[in-house]
Amino acid sequence: MGSGNAIRGSRVGAGPMGEAERGEAAPRVRVSFWCANMHETRPSFASDAAVPEYWDCPRCGLPAGQDESAPPAPPRNEPYKTHLAYVKERRSDTDGAAILAEALERLRSSSRTHW
């Protein structure tokens, strides 16, 4: 004996939705992009939309371009720099030695006054 529920087994949004219910799909165009690893990606765009110059490769993450013979170069990754590396870029070893000597002299003179 049924429970009398007329929509038993269905839920909101269940079932295929035809074009009549959601409107007609925009005309599409598929564009090929190639990355430096020669992976081809073919996303689709609305035919009246602007196609971007580059697209991220879903396989390796590198930028991909539309010219198969000349894909974009992989981006250069700069290595992580420590604080000391940045300081050494701004100061020479001579400057560093002078600053260290000045700081040590200040420490020594302040410790003499406290003892």
35 is in an annotated binding site: yes
77 is in an annotated binding site: no
Name the amino acid, one letter, at 5.
N
Residue positions counted in the chain: 115
- The closest of 33, 43, 39, 42 to 65, measured between CA atoms, is 33
Cα gap 99→92, rounded to integer Å: 11
60 is in an annotated binding site: yes
Specify binding-site residues for Zn(2+).
35, 39, 57, 60
Specify binding-site residues.
35, 39, 57, 60
